[in-house]
Structure 1
Amino acid sequence: MSLAAILLLGAFHGLNPAMGWLFAVARGLQERNRDLVLQSLPVIALGHLASVGLVALAAEATGSLVGGTAFAIGCGVLLVGFGLWRLLSRRHFRWVGMRVSLPQLAAWSFLMSSAHGAGLMVLPALVPQDGGHQHGSPGLMVTLLHTLAMLVASAVVALVVYEFVGLKVLRWAWVNMDRIWAFALVGAGVFTLATHL
C-alpha cells in the first residue's frame, strides 16, 4: 500500500463522523466553546492512534509472517468478514453522553475505532505486495501518518461545522458513513486477497 493510500485512509477516517469529529463539535456547541472542539480532537486522535497502533503492533509481532502469503490471505479474509459484519450489523455502541472527561473521550475513541475496524485498514500497508520481506519497522510510521491525516481531516471538518454550519446540516445532508466504511473494508479485503492469491 502506498503512502498516498495510507494518508487517504486516514483522511477518510477523519471525515467519518463516527470517528469523532461530530462528538468534538457537539461538545463545543453544548458549551458554546470552540476551545472544547480543539481540545477534543487530539484526544480523539490519540484513541484512534492506540487502536490502529495495536493492530500494527500485533502484525509486526508476527515477524516473518507479515511477509507471508498466508498472513496476507488471513488479513484479506479478516477485512472481508469484518466489513460484512459491519454491513449486516444493526448494533451501535452507546456511551455516557456528551459530558465526558478527556480520558473518557480517548477511551471512547479507542473503542469506536476498534469497533469500526480502523486498524484493519492498515494491515495491507504492512504486507509487502511482492511477497518479499519488509525492512525496518513500518508499523509505527504507518500508524503515525495515518493518524496525522485523520486528525487534520477531522479538524477541518469539525471547525467548518462548528463555525459555519452547526449541526443543522446533518438533518438534510446525512450520509451513512457506517455503510460506506463497511464497503471500504470489504473492498480492501478483496483487493488484498486478489493480489496474494
Structure 2
Amino acid sequence: MSTASFTLWPWIALAGLGAFHGLNPAMGWLFAVALGLHRRSRATVLLALAPIALGHAVAVGAVLLVVVAFGTVLDATLLGRGAGLILMGWALWHGFVGHRRRARIGMQTGFAGLALWSCMMASAHGAGLMLVPAILSLCVSPGMGGELATSTSIPISLAALTVHTGAMLAVIGAIGLVVYDRLGLAFLRRGWINLDIFWSAALAAAGIILLAG
C-alpha cells in the first residue's frame, strides 16, 4: 500500500461514517423536516443544520479531546486496546438496550432543543468512539514513540471533526430537502431501513480493528 493511500483511508472513513450518520432519521433530518413543515418554511430545514452540527460536534469533539489527552500520556497501543474494548461493550449495549432508550424531545422543538437532541443522540450512538481508529491512524506515526503529540493531534482532530460533521450535514441537508420538497414524512410509514443494527455492527467492527491493530 502506498503512503498516499495509507494516509487517505482515515479521511475516507471519517467522511463515510459522517454520511452514514446522516442517513439515520434520528440524527437530525427527521427533526429538521418536521420543524420546516411545522413552520411552513423550506429555509427552516436548512437553518436547522446549524444546531444539528453544533450538537454533534460537541459530543464527538468531547470524545476526541479525551482521546488526545490520554494519548499524550499513554502508549497508543494501550489506548487503542482500551478504546476497542469500550467500543465492543458499547456495541452490545446499543444493540440490546440503547436503541430502546431514546431521549424524548418533541418533533416541533426549537433550534436549542434540536442542538440538545443532536448532542444526546451522537453520544448515545458512540459517534465519537467510532472515530478513534482513524484518529489514532492519523495522529500516531512510528517515529513518535507510540504517543500523541498535542501540537499535531489537536489540529488533526479538529480537521477530522470538520470532515466527519461536514459529510453528515451534506447527507442530512440533501435528504431533508428531498423529503420536504417531494416525499413528505408520510413515506416513513411505508417503511424505512432500521439502521440501528447496522450501527451496532459498525461499532463492533471498529472495536475489532482497534483490538487487532
The corresponding residue for 2:81 is 73
Structure 1 stretch 121-130 or stretch 3-12: which is displaced more? 121-130
CA offsets 1:81-118 (integer angstroms, 9 cap, x no match): 10111101152323231232222211111111111111
**CA RMSD, 1 decimal:** 1.8
Distance across 2 between alignment mates of 1:67 and 1:5? 23
What percent identity do the matched residue pairs reach?
A: 45
Distance across 1 between alignment mates of 2:73 and 2:84? 14
Q: Which one of 131, 144, 152 corresponds to residue 162 of structure 2?
A: 144
Contact 2:103 2:117 in 1 (8 A): no
Distance across 1 between alignment mates of 2:22 and 2:100? 22
Distance across 2 between alignment mates of 1:60 and 1:151? 25
Alpha-carbon shift at residue 173 of structure 1 (Å): 3.0
CA offsets 1:112-171 (integer angstroms, 9 cap, x no match): 111111111111122237664455122111111111111111111111111111112212
4+ aligned runs moved over 6 Å, structure 1: none
Does residue 190 in structure 1 map to residue 205 in structure 2? no
Runs of at least 5 residues in structure 1 that lack an aligned partner in the other structure = none
Q: Which one of 156, 162, 180 corresponds to residue 198 of structure 2?
A: 180
The corresponding residue for 1:111 is 120
Distance across 2 between alignment mates of 1:189 and 1:54? 19
Alpha-carbon shift at residue 80 of structure 1 (Å): 1.0
Distance change (3 Å), C-alpha of 1:48 and 1:66: farther
Contact 2:55 2:115 in 1 (8 A): yes
Distance across 2 between alignment mates of 1:146 and 1:192? 19
Does residue 24 in structure 1 map to residue 32 in structure 2? yes
Alpha-carbon shift at residue 51 of structure 1 (Å): 0.6
Structure 1 stretch 121-130 or stretch 50-59: which is displaced more? 121-130
Distance across 2 between alignment mates of 1:45 and 1:110? 9
The corresponding residue for 1:121 is 130
Matched residue count: 195
Structure 1 stretch 60-69 or stretch 185-194: which is displaced more? 60-69
Contact 1:66 1:72 in 2 (8 A): no
The corresponding residue for 1:169 is 187
Runs of at least 5 residues in structure 2 that lack an aligned partner in the other structure = 1-8
